[in-house]
Chains A and B, each alone.
Chain A
């Protein structure tokens, strides 16, 4: 069965203090790994899709990377508006389109 584990559960950073969030996964053939941002009480907002080990994608202060067992979301010089829960999900190759999510990392950026 597909599994996704995210760490840490919660992270508090000072504004401008860079860090990384981890997503470890097990899946029998990866179709794609997805990162979403979720604000309280709202639906997840799509950030990135990664398909193969070694792939990297960037958007503003965020950069996502992928290896065969895990993905990292690097946050460079974060601002308070980056505070949110970041969710990681995997989609398997075997004809399944469902997403299997981790429990997320709750990120708080302190001004």
Chain B
């Protein structure tokens, strides 16, 4: 059973550019959450998608947007990149109903903004 997968593993961008990160959830899961983890910090919630809609959003600017596809996979888009956007971006999947709320994380995408 494949776990949560993310691509790419690493990415280098320059300030002002745009980036798209991708996530495929664990088999049987229908909900995808995205987190940002700065070095030495715990993950910070960005937003969550369920049934192709943004269900919840953390304290992140509109430069951060997302999408969920009918197959439950998801994308995170960040526009007008800032140096401070450099971080590990984590995707987590879960099943919203049925007592499977535990979120399982992917390996992450390391983004470096120069």
Taking Cβ atoms with an 8 Å cutoff, the residues of A that contact B are: 4, 31-32, 34, 36, 41-46, 49, 87, 89, 91, 96-104
Contact = CB atoms under 8 A, between A and B. Distances in A.
Interface residues of B, number: 29
A44 B107 CA distance: 8
Contact of B45 (A4, A31, A32, A99): A99
B86 interface: no
Given A31-B101, A103-B42, A98 B58 contact: yes
A34 B56 contact: no
A100 B103 CA distance: 12
Given A96-B56, A98-B33, A101-B44, 10 more contacts: A42-B107, A43-B6, A43-B106, A45-B105, A87-B42, A91-B101, A97-B55, A99-B33, A99-B45, A100-B45
B101 A43 contact: no
Contacts of A97: 31, 33, 48, 55-56, 94, 96, 101, 103
Nearest to A31: B101
Contacts of A91: 101
A95 B6 CA distance: 27
B99 to A, nearest CB: 10
Contacts of B45: 98-100
Nearest to B58: A98
A44 B110 contact: no
Contact of B42 (A31, A32, A45, A101): A101
A74 to B, nearest CB: 21
Given A36-B105, A91-B101, A44 B43 contact: yes
